[in-house]
Amino acid sequence: MKIAEIENWGEETRRIKNLFERLGCDLVGVAPAKHFPEMDFFENWLDRGFAGEMNYLQRHREKSVNPRKILPSVQTVLVCGQLYETPLPHETAEHNSHNGWISRYAWGEDYHDRLLKILRTGVEWLNQKFDDLEYRFYVDTGPTRDRIWARYAGLGWFGKNTCFINQKVGSYFFLGEIFLNLPLQTDKPAAERCGTCTRCLESCPTKALVEPGVLDARKCISYLTIELKTAIPENLRDAIGTNIFGCDICQDVCPWNRRAPQTREDAYLPREGFYHPDLGDFYKWVRDEFPGRFKKSPLKRTKQRGLLRNVAVAMGNSGQKEFKSALAEMAESDDPLVREHAQWGLEKLKNRQSKKQRVKPTKSGKTSS
């Protein structure tokens, strides 16, 4: 069938949306392929240097804000969302300092593969139906601004924490989009509903949210533990706490996530040991079982040396002297990045123990130094 032969695109759009919902998408919307003001904001954000070392954002800058650079015949963008929330407690709950934190999106299998599979299956169906179909699809795998298309597809709004929020499901979901030469019926953008709430701004340990809706990625714990490939700035290491891959705090405190529904995908449930892992065990896994244990996991993005760097900082911040031997071992590493952070962790533990020894309780219950 030719695209021009379709008479009722409203009905056809509903049929296509239903298809992607049946395939496993929890949210589906359609945006017009236009230039939107948020694209200018993105370019300004890059100019302010907030992207840090994420140079790939600069390389495809023009393409990422011009849909016709991606697909010259594009008319609409189909946007799909898939939930990854689980019933396990959030990062802001009380946890043992022996344990590290992995961002909940990375507990299970790599979402790129799971959501791409759904989009690919849907596109195959469309390709069989339309003889003259043209398309491109991405799941955080190409030069496109997911949140902008999602907003104009009616799926939600940009939160003050810069995460994308949907009124019904919160912000724990992945996004993917398909650029199509189909004149689908488009949706209306959702209203912004953060109101006067500033919990995310107040809760960020590194103050990376410099103003509502503006993130300085160079200070963000997720950037520091995932995207940054060099040394973590010393002035930010304390605030990282025991995070070893990403951070969920600004989402966990968001009121829209209080009753966030749970994923239907078993693949996003935590692998054994990935939920709030013991730092000692996790260190051994990274040291001895990489890449086997982390196969098809988002954690592979940071690579072995990056995870060891992060573990060294987390162990230093834990205050647990039992991690001294592991840090001492890393301090002898051939990798200067791992060695430097392990030495910092050892010094941090040493200073904490010295403070504890200086402050001793007296018989009256008071402390003396």
Tokens, residue 242: 């025991």
Instruction: Spot the catalytic one: 40, 140, 252, 335.
Output: 140
Distance CA 163, CA 1 (A): 40
Q: How far does CA 129 lie from the centroid of its chain?
A: 35
Question: 113 phi and psi, to 5 degrees?
Answer: -65, -40
Positions of E strands within the chain: 27-32, 76-83, 101-102, 135-138, 157-158, 164-165, 173-180, 209-211, 214-215, 243-245, 360-361, 367-368
SS3 label, residue 329: helix
Bin 298: left if φ > 0, else alpha if -120 < ψ < 50, else beta.
Answer: alpha
Question: In residues, how long is the chain?
Answer: 369
CA atoms within 13 A on the CB side of 78: 29
| Closest residue by Cα to residue 147 from 225, 215, 224, 240 | 215
- The verdict on whether 187 is a catalytic residue reads no
Are the CB atoms for 230 and 337 separated by under 8 Å? yes
Q: Can you give the three-state secondary structure of 15-69, one letter per residue?
A: HHHHHHHHHCCCEEEEEECCCCHHHHHHHHHHHCCCCCCCCHHHHCHHHHCCHHH
Residue 220 CB contacts under 8 Å (≥ 6 apart), including other chains:
206, 208, 247
Rounded to a whole number of angstroms, the CA Rg of the chain reads 23
Catalytic residues: 140
